[in-house]
Amino acid sequence: MSSDQVLCPALFLAAPASGQGKTTITAVLARYFCSQGKRVTVFKTGPDYLDPQILAQASGRPVEQLDIWMAGEHYCRQRLYEAALCSDLILVEGVMGMFDGTPSSADLAALFGIPIAIVMDVGGMAQTAAALVHGMATFREDIKIAGLIANRCGSDYHASLIADALPSDIPLLAALSREERVRLPERHLGLVQAAEMRDELEEKLVESLTWLHQPRNAPLLTLPEPVLFRADLKGQIKVGQHLSGKTIAIARDEAFSFAYAANILLLQQLGATIEYFSPLRDSQLPQSVDALWLPGGYPELHADELAKNQSMKKEILAFYLSEKPILAECGGMMYCLDHLHTLDGISYEMLGLISGEGIMRDKGGCQGMQTAMLPEGVVRAHSHHRSMTQGTPDPIAYGKRQRHSAPGEEIFRCKGLTATYLHLFFPSNPEAIAAIFSK
């Protein structure tokens, strides 16, 4: 084997639909192998902020996104190779249904040769689960199915009905019982953030080890077969120290937490020093800051606290008036508006850096992949929100949708502030990101 190749056990967890238990099972599996002294690296398919927080707590390591469109094939291949060099196991959690989206979870698994464990909620079915697995396994010829993880299985007899009906080459890896104690709480954009339930999540992970460690789940508790991962020089991020000597302060608390680990790593590779602050609790910005990043999150759930923190609002306003760089994404952009209107009809005063109102909605919103058409260059991104804006100024540009000709999300620019609903994936254009933060 050449030096640019490495073998590492790996498993891709996919499902016929959302809500089958992928995140819970991926997290518990990561924690189990960590408890056995293994070094586990977990990746999440697609643009997701909430699942990676939980998976990171379970594995004790940062969780990065793998997405062929957003990050590129070369980047994904290189990140998998680098993970394989230092891991005993790689787990990849899929997104939505296995064949949903372009690219899909199946596309990713096929491209990198990772066997797929199908996670399926088998409540209310028996042999039909085997029929669905058979259909998924034969839908494409370029995927390999490692087996079925039957979630919410009623009994040993229920498990045997499913196992006996499965194709001979597809084993039943596990039959997990119905257990509400391990269920993860959700809200309007997905799972509740790990930081908001860290102790509760830890208890669930500990309880889940007993849930997982049952005799009928033995095949899942054995390391999967090794996968050959190859280096990809085109996927290596080679950047200059364009942000050397710069300090970037990133908002990070319960209201603002949607920041890719890959984005923070890139800023550091560009030479930046990273500081964190809380718009909820801090009264001042970190000292000697050259730029701010206000990422997305849940400002609507903390609007009253954000509005009352006058000292922080004054600090950020002064920073804005100094015309230093600020990047505000989604929830961060909502914080920059005049007011934020919550679902209960209350209006809270925000920063007022951009004229306009942010209005929460209980239905609708926007989600999907877009390219941010910035003056500094194009950056791959995605949108996911349950709100709208009114009374905002004319944008300088719009996002370009992945598969639709209608204009995407608005992009605003005023003084040093760049604000948009889009969540940017920094590694897709390091030079443009460096330019935004070094105006």
Whether 430 contacts 239, CB under 8 Å: yes
Whether 392 contacts 354, CB under 8 Å: yes
Alpha carbons 57 and 50: distance in angstroms, whole number? 11
* Pair of tokens at residue 345: 């009809």
Alpha carbons 158 and 169: distance in angstroms, whole number? 20
Alpha carbons 167 and 61: distance in angstroms, whole number? 36
* Three-state SS at 414: strand
Whether residue 103 has a cis bond before it, omega within 30° of 0:
yes
* Pair of tokens at residue 157: 């007899």
Q: How far apart are the first and last CA of the chain?
A: 47
Q: Residue 192: what are its φ and ψ, rounded to 5°?
A: -65, 145
Alpha carbons 175 and 115: distance in angstroms, whole number? 19
Those residues with Cβ within 8 angstroms of residue 201's Cβ, 6 or more apart along the chain or in another chain: 54, 57, 184, 194
Q: How far is CA 212 from CA 59, 124, 148, 387, in A?
A: 16, 21, 14, 39
Q: Which member of 330, 336, 366, 414 is catalytic?
A: 330
Nearest 10 degrees: CA dihedral of 343, 344, 349, 354? 20
Q: Is 330 a catalytic residue?
A: yes
Whether 381 contacts 424, CB under 8 Å: yes
Residues taking part in catalysis = 330
